[in-house]
Amino acid sequence: MDIQNTSYKFLVTGGGGYIGFHVGLALVQLKQEVVLFDIKYPSKIWDPSIEISSVSSEDGELVEEQIRCSYGTMKFVKGNHLSFYRQTILKQLNFLERRYKKHSPTPQSN
């Protein structure tokens, strides 16, 4: 994977913790798009310039949060890991069901 010359999008689970946050920082320094996912926010101890801002829709529903730090900006998703994996798995199952129904032969009546 040539990360220096190609842009990728990375999801870092545990992004509010020390290791996850610093992995995100390293990726931002490499000009990659980063989404941090955790149940807690990163600590300002690791980067005093951290600012967390929320972007909301017109009806006030939280759309996304952004973390600005000394190296750039990362998206942040706050949530429970188990519910995140459950939602991801359900989306994949729904996708597979739709593809199966679309490509499966229809039964012929005799």
Looking at residue 14, its amino acid is G
The string of pLDDT tens digits covering residues 3-22 is 667 788 898 888 888 999 99
CA distance 110 to 108: 7
Residue 109's pLDDT is what? 60
Whether residue 110 is contained in a domain is answered as no
Q: What is the mean pLDDT of residues 50-57?
A: 70
Whether residue 3 is contained in a domain is answered as no
pLDDT over 70, % of the chain: 74
The answer, yes or no, to whether residue 84 has pLDDT greater than 80, is no
Global pTM value: 0.57
Which domain does 44 fall in, by range? 9-103
- The total number of residues written for the chain in this structure: 110
What's the total number of domains in the chain?
Answer: 1
CB 69 within 8 A of CB 52: no
Whether residue 83 is contained in a domain is answered as yes
The answer, yes or no, to whether residue 31 has pLDDT greater than 80, is yes
CA distance 108 to 93: 27
Residue 57's pLDDT is what? 59
Whether residue 2 is contained in a domain is answered as no
Whether residue 108 is contained in a domain is answered as no
Residue 106's pLDDT is what? 64
Residue 60's pLDDT is what? 59
- Token readout for 4 is 């220096």
